[in-house]
Amino acid sequence: MNELSLINKTMSSREIAELTGKEHKNVLRDCDILNETYERIPMPKIEQGYYMHERTGNQQHREMLLTKMQTFDLMTGYSIELRIKVNRRWEELESKSKLPDFNNPAVAARAWAEQYEQRELAEKKVQELTPKAKAYDTVLSSDTAISIGDAAAVLQLPYGRNTLFKTLREKQILMSDNVPYRKYIDAGYFKVIETSIARSGRTDVVLTTLITQRGIDYLFKILKIIN
C-alpha cells in the first residue's frame, strides 16, 4: 500500500481502491462526482495527481489525493464494512506520524497508554457495527427487494416503518399513497407490486412499495445515517 503523506496528509484513490476492492477507475469516477458537489457548495476540491506504472513506462496515470475529511465524504456512499476498513487504515497511518517523545518516559508511557485505549475502543466499535454491516451488505448483494419496514431495520434507523414512509413522502420520493414517483422507480430504487384482492363482489388492486438493493444504498445517502 502507499504510505500516507505526513506533510499533506492525503490518501490516494489507488489505496482506497485497494482497501475496498473496487476498480480504481470507479473510485476516480466517485471522486469526480464528489468534486462536482464541492464545486456547487463551494468547498475545496480533491486534488489530482499522477503516478507511473512499471508496465507502461513513462506514461502518466491519473489519481486523486484526498484529505481525511474528503475520504470520509467519499466513503459515505460506500457500505459500512468498506468505510470501517478505510477508517482503520487512516488510524493506522496517523499513528505512525505521532510517535511519543521517548526522551520523556512519562510522556511516552502516557502516549502508548492512550493509543492502547483508542485501539481498544476502535475494536469495540467494529464489533458493534459488524452485525449491521453484514445485514446491510447482504441486502446490497442480493437481487431481491424488501419492504419499507425491513429497510428501516436493516439501516437501524431510530424509527420504524410508518415514520420512514412519512420521511420519504416529505422528501417527495413517495406520493401520498406511498407509491414512489416514476423517476425513482426508473432509477431502480423501488419496485411496486400489484396484488388483486376480491372483496364483496369486486376486485381491488393493492400496491405495495418495495426497496431494491440500490434503493437501500440511496436511502443510506439521503438520510445521512451516522454511526
Tens-digit pLDDT profile for residues 20-32: 889 999 999 999 9
Tens-digit pLDDT profile for residues 130-170: 555 555 555 544 456 888 888 888 777 778 889 889 999 99
**DSSP states of the chain:** -PPPPTTT--EEHHHHHHHHT--HHHHHHHHHHHHHHHHHTT-PPPEEEEEE-GGGTT-EEEEEEE-HHHHHHHHTTS-HHHHHHHHHHHHHHHHHT----TTSHHHHHHHHHHHHHHHHHHHHHHHHHHHHHHHHHHHHTSS--EEHHHHHHHTT-SS-HHHHHHHHHHTTSB-TTSPBPHHHHHTTSEEEEEEEEEETTEEEEEEEEEE-HHHHHHHHHHHT---
Each residue's pLDDT, cut to its tens digit, for the chain (227 residues) gives 444 444 457 899 999 999 888 999 999 999 998 888 888 878 889 999 998 887 777 888 999 999 888 888 888 777 667 777 777 778 777 766 555 555 666 666 666 666 666 666 655 655 554 555 555 555 544 456 888 888 888 777 778 889 889 999 999 999 998 999 999 999 888 988 888 777 777 777 788 899 888 888 888 888 765 44
CA distances from 87 to 25, 80, 108, 179, 210 (A): 21, 10, 25, 37, 32
pLDDT at 216: 83
